[in-house]
Structure 1
Amino acid sequence: MTNIKTITLGRRGFLLGAASTLCAPAIVRAQGAKAAKVSVGRQPYAAGNSPVTQYMMNEKLFEKAASELGYDLTVDWRDYPSALPMVEAFVSGNLDIGMWGNTPIVRLLSQNQGIHVLTVGEGHLRMVLCTRPDSPIRNMEDLKGKTVGALVGGDPYNALSQMLLHELGNADPRAFDIKVVNTPTQAQAASLPSGMDAAIAIYPAFLKANAEIGTKGIVNSFGYTEAGYKGPAGEGAGILLPGVKKSPFFPDGYYLHRSFWICSERILSADAAIGQAFLVALQRAVVALGKMKPGDISEMVSKYWGLSPELGSKIVEDEVLFQRGWIWPTEGDAAAITQISNFMVEGRLIPKPLTFDQVKSAFSKAAPILQKAYEATGKLPAESDFTAKGAKDLRGLPAWQMNSWKAPA
């Protein structure tokens, strides 16, 4: 990983006067601070991680939290357009902390790559099955025999497969003579270039295309219809389709989207205080943003999302971090990785599903600093909220109580 060089500043070799002695504790802290550098990758064109990290950067929350733990920290923030180049940088040792979704995490664990999950980076990102404004495609049944764009090997493709499974009965597009073409960028998917009849795009890209070229939404990954829907369930947006209730991820939807912060071994061992500081800074950012209006949060990252505050607020309101008000990974988040590995086997993306022990091992090393960060930020939420019935997202006991986690059925 990127080298984190630690330097201990020496004491002064002379006596201080009486007045200076009164200030000695502060001076010793300053002199004893460890100078360190850390690289952090983010995806500002995605969802909740964008405003959260932007706020951290603007307010230097990471640096401040590190200072409280004895570090003089320099943060190298890096923007990535998608997960793949970030994963490549991390695996090659050129990135200390990064964030990506379920699919690359499952792939890396399947390959026995030694990755460590820090915490939830964003989640509950809406993915929209969309088409052109004049398209005859109005529901899932209409996809049969058509060409659909999706990020193959990524969350959008997995969401599409689960929508097909629970509404048409089979997760394999080929069962319905559906040809899937890879769309490496979300802007490309939402723009529906020539040769594609429909596509599945993440919500920020869909909203932008909808506003600019009239791209029409049909169904979303939460299980609700969009404005362009017409079919057995009725017509128009906001209808909960019956198939989504059969999903193991309900009430999150057909598919449980989570992206996680991943870190190197060093961040959890020699420089574990940096990992703790990162978690503290993340939680403080989420709490601070939770007090702001969604439109104002969106405006912070308008250069990335390209949306008006009114449209951007829709992404903010969907974000699981803002719905929860906290960042801590739970049993439900971990179980979802296991479940998703089963679907990836069906799609022949990995040879065999992950065991729950494999998934737990990815969370285990960060558990102690997660608990410290939770306690340092005021123990929010109350412990009972982790297992609250009626929550709108899948959750459960936090990672530091993983000894009580149960493997998904």
Structure 2
Amino acid sequence: MRSRTLSALLLPLAMLLAACGGATSAAPTDHTDGKGETTLTIGDQKGGYEAILRASGRLDDLDYRIRWSTFTSGPPLLEAVSAGAVDIGGVGNTPPVFAAGSDSRITVVGASHGSSAGEAIVVPKDSPLRGPAQLKGRTIAVAQGSSAHYQLITALKKAGLRITDVKLAYLQPADALAAFNRGRVDAWAIWDPYTSQVLRSTRARVLTTGEGVVNGLSFQVASPAALKDDRKSKAIGDLLHRLQQAQDWVFEHPEAWAKVWAKETGLSYEVALDAVRRSYGTRVPVAVDPAAIASEQAIADTFAHLKLIPRHFAFEDYVDTRFNRDLPPSSAAPRSYGKASS
């Protein structure tokens, strides 16, 4: 019963697959904010930019219009950016790599750096496994092409193992949870808020996290056509500044944001607060600098080597640094609330 219940709880989180590959579609758009002649179409996800900007009061006094277009995950959002149907949207560290590897017309214009504690490999509490090196020969559930997939690869490498030393079960979260609870896999590579939800709702513990092995970055990605439009480019710069202020608000008001986020996504308040403190509230807006580009290049090269993307490419060709302003470097330390529940 516990497995079935949590599987049902995971279903509302389909819209939070920003870090994950896979095709999903956009929901209809039927509302706007602001006023003025310029309209910026923003690709969003449930509990994403619109929710955080509205909760923090950063949608007030707009001198341009925002049209919201809601997507269930990062990959189709970037498809819309490439097609020019969306001017800008936010995604995790993996979707830009897959989009660029497929020759999509996208440009990374902003970034934030957060804790990688929510990128985790979890095992049952009674598992004999105590470290990544003991995963050799074991079966691990992971969403193919996701940030968790890359985290798994790097965690194994750090432990002296190759991806071929383990057995991979490519499963999306709801199916992975069922396999995990039924003992069909030995471990599960996952990301927040799934990490927080699993630790709250099942007999699981963390084997290792992404801290020290993955970059903890997320990105704002714009349409090249929008960047060539002076009025839209100005609006994008303003939006990035408002998002920076909104992220500051989240850090300062984790409980208030957790209540909003829980209502938006169907998460329980306790899980939402865990995820805010473990991952989402820790983010610091940072520059898209050479270190960030090099880190994304490593992800791109890894997935190209595994033939999960069709070609090798230079990630720097998909970056515009005009909005870096005086932002801290991408290596800036994430904010911290102390330890989240586990």
Fold conserved between structures, TM > 0.5: yes
- Aligned in 2, Cα 1:87/1:337: closer, same or farther, shift over 3 Å? same
Q: Mapping of 1:201-212 within 5 angstroms?
A: 201-212=190-201
Out of 58, 63, 66, the residue aligned to residue 61 of structure 1 is 58
- State how far apart, in whole Å, the 1-side matches of 2:70 and 2:102 are: 26
Partner Cα distance (2:55, 2:38) in 1:
20
For the structure 1 residues 328 and 299, does the alpha-carbon distance in structure 2 shift closer, same or farther, using more than 3 Å as the test? farther
Counterpart residue identity of residue 89, structure 1 = A
1:189 corresponds to 2:176: yes
Aligned ranges 1:177-256 → 2 under 5 Å: 178-184=166-172, 186-191=173-178, 192=180, 194=182, 195-222=184-211, 253-256=212-215
The equivalent residue for 2:333 is 392
Matched AA of 2:243: L
Cα distance in structure 2, aligned partners of 1:57 and 1:268: 25
| SS at structure 2 position matched to 1:61 | coil
Aligned equivalents of 1:143, 1:153: Cα separation in 2: 20
- Answer yes or no: is 1:360 the counterpart of 2:321: no
**Residues in 1 aligned to 2:277 and 2:301: alpha-carbon distance in whole angstroms:** 30
Q: Is the 8 A contact 1:42 1:78 kept in 2?
A: yes
Q: Partner of 1:168 in structure 2? A: 160
In the TM superposition, residue 343 of structure 1 has moved relative to its aligned partner by 1.8
2:295 to 319, 328, 336: 336
Contact 1:163 1:254 in 2 (8 A): yes
SS in 1 for 2:105: coil
CA contact (8 A) 2:106 2:222 kept: yes
Q: Deviations over 1:309-329 (max 9, x none)?
A: 5x54443344487453x3443
Runs (5+) with no aligned partner, structure 1: 1-29, 223-252, 394-409
Percent identical = 18
Classify the secondary structure of the residue corresponding to 2:319.
helix
CA distance in 2, matches of 1:77, 1:111: 23
1:267 aligns with 2:199: no
The one-letter amino acid paired with 1:136 is P
- SS of corresponding position for 2:219: strand
* TM-score of the superposed pair, with normalisation by structure 2: 0.74
**For 1:322 and 1:124, how far apart are their aligned partners in 2?**
6
Out of 101, 118, 135, which is 1:110 matched to? 101
Structure 1 residues 354 and 123 mapped into 2: Cα distance closer, same or farther (>3 Å)? farther
SS in 2 for 1:329: coil
SS at match of 2:120: strand
1:281-329 Cα offsets, whole Å, 9 max, x none, are 112212333332x3333222123272445x54443344487453x3443
Deviations 1:174-229 (A, max 9, x none): 2x2x2212222x3443452543222111132122122222223221111xxxxxxx
Alpha-carbon distance change, 334 to 183 in structure 1, aligned in 2, over 3 angstroms: same
- Aligned partner letter, 1:219: T
Equivalent AA in structure 1 for residue 144 of structure 2: V
Deviation at 1:39, TM superposition (A): 2.8
Superposition deviation, residue 62 in structure 1: 4.5
Task: Quote the Cα distance in structure 2 between the aligned partners of 1:268 and 1:165.
Answer: 39
Q: Does 2:154 match 1:157?
A: no
| Offset at residue 38 of structure 1 (A) | 3.2
In 2, the alpha carbon distance for the partners of 1:255 and 1:354 equals 20
Name the residue aligned to 2:76: 85
CA contact (8 A) 2:132 2:159 kept: yes
SS of match in other structure, 2:234: helix
Identify unmatched segments of 5+ residues in structure 2. 1-33, 335-342
Q: Determine if the alignment matches structure 1 residue 287 to structure 2 residue 228.
A: no
Bigger relative contact order, structure 1 or 2 (CA pairs below 8 A, ≥6 apart): 2
CA distance in 2, matches of 1:215, 1:43: 28
Does residue 262 of structure 2 align to residue 302 of structure 1? yes
Contact 1:190–1:201 (CA under 8 A) maintained in structure 2 = no
C-alpha contact 2:109 2:220 (8 A) present in aligned 1: yes
Q: SS at 2:37's partner residue?
A: strand
1:37 aligns with 2:39: yes
Per-residue deviation, residues 104-127 of structure 1 (Å, max 9, x unmatched): 322332333321112115643421
- Alpha carbon RMSD of aligned pairs, Å? 3.1
TM normalised by structure 1 equals 0.63
In structure 2, relative to structure 1, the CA distance for the partners of 1:302 and 1:37 (3 Å cut) is same
Corresponding residue SS for 2:141: strand
Counterpart of 1:54, as a letter, is A
The amino acid of 1:41's aligned partner reads: G
1:137-169: CA deviation from partner (whole Å, max 9, x where unpaired): 333233222221111111111100111111133
Aligned match of 1:14: none
Output the amino acid matched with 1:99: G
- Give the whole-Å Cα distance in 1 for the aligned partners of 2:252 and 2:55: 17
Aligned-partner residue type, residue 221 of structure 1: G
Letter in 1 for 2:216: H
